[in-house]
Amino acid sequence: MAIVHSQASGMGGIRTAGDLVARMQLAKSMRLNDAKKFVADKLKVSLLDLTDEVAMREVREDLDIANVFMGYGAASRGIEAKANISKLLDLEINCVEKFKKKTGMLFK
């Protein structure tokens, strides 16, 4: 079921920009088109680029915000990537805030 929906209509998660658009919906109640535009503006890409796997892999690697490729030399992953996403989207992410508090680290 999950595979069918992701292929038929899903944005593609971290393979593209689906996770970023989803974050804006869940955190800010942005409607779909508003969330897509917000993320596209932040990434400085077009709306169609948001679901272009090739374009988004380069963008995500450049911005260091995780991709499905997690081999040696890959972009940041997990909490590292979320710290970068938090800055990029100007969005407070709960676990990143907790990570900062626990480690005493302040991100610029």
> Which parts of this chain interact with another protein (CB under 8 A)?
1-15, 18-19, 21-23, 25-32, 35, 47-48, 51, 65-66, 68, 70, 77-79, 81-82, 85, 92-95, 98-99
CA pair distance 86, 49, nearest whole angstrom = 21
CB of 106 to another protein, least distance (A): 18
CB of 62 to another protein, least distance (A): 16
CB of 20 to another protein, least distance (A): 9
CA pair distance 97, 105, nearest whole angstrom = 10
CB-CB contact of 51 with 12 (8 Å): yes
